[in-house]
Amino acid sequence: MNRILRTVHHAIARRLYPGGRPSSIARALNRVAARHHARGVLTDRASATLIVAGRRTGRTIAVAVAVAEVSGDDYLVSMLGETADWVRNVRAAHGRAVLVRHRQRRQVRLREVPVDERAPILQSYLDVAPGARPHLGVDRSEPLESFARIAGDFPVFLVCPDAE
C-alpha cells in the first residue's frame, strides 16, 4: 500500500512541476504555503518563508521552503535544481534575503555550499521535506553515495546571519 501511495504522490508532484518548473496550480499553492509559513499557521519546525528581491523586477518574492538542520547549521535546498527562480534571485541578490520562521523575520545571507559537501545535507533535507522526494530521485534511506551522485544538480545554501 505504501508503494502505491508513493507512486501516486510522485505522479502528482510531476504534474505540478512539469519539466522541473511549477505549473500555475503549483505557483498558487506555493503562494498560499508561503503566507501560512510566514504566519506560523499549520507549520512544522522546518517550515519557513524565504523573501528575496526578484532579479528582474526588484519586487520582493516570497517562497515556501523547508529548512534542513545539519550539525547545528540551517540549510536551504532547491528541490527543483538550478532552474528554480528563488535560486536565481538569491544569486542575483548576492545571497541577501529574509527568512521568516515561526513568525520571526531575520535578514540572512545565503552562502552556496560546495558540491562535495552537499550529500549529507540533501539526505537530511529529505527528512524534513517529503514533497521534495520525487524531485531528487533518491530515497532518503539510500546511502550517502547516492546523494553525492546527485549533489551537483541541487543547489544548497547555508543560512548565515547578515552582518550588514
Which residue type does 139 have? Answer: D
Domain ranges of the chain: 2-161
Instruction: Yes or no: say if 43 and 129 are a contact pair by the CB < 8 Å rule.
Output: no
Low-confidence winner among 35-39, 82-86, 118-122 (lowest mean pLDDT): 35-39
What's the grid cell of residue 44?
Answer: 512544522
Class of domain 2-161: mainly beta
Confidence of residue 1 (pLDDT cuts 50, 70, 90): very low
Query: Please, what is the average pLDDT of the chain?
Result: 83
Gyration radius from the chain CA atoms: 15
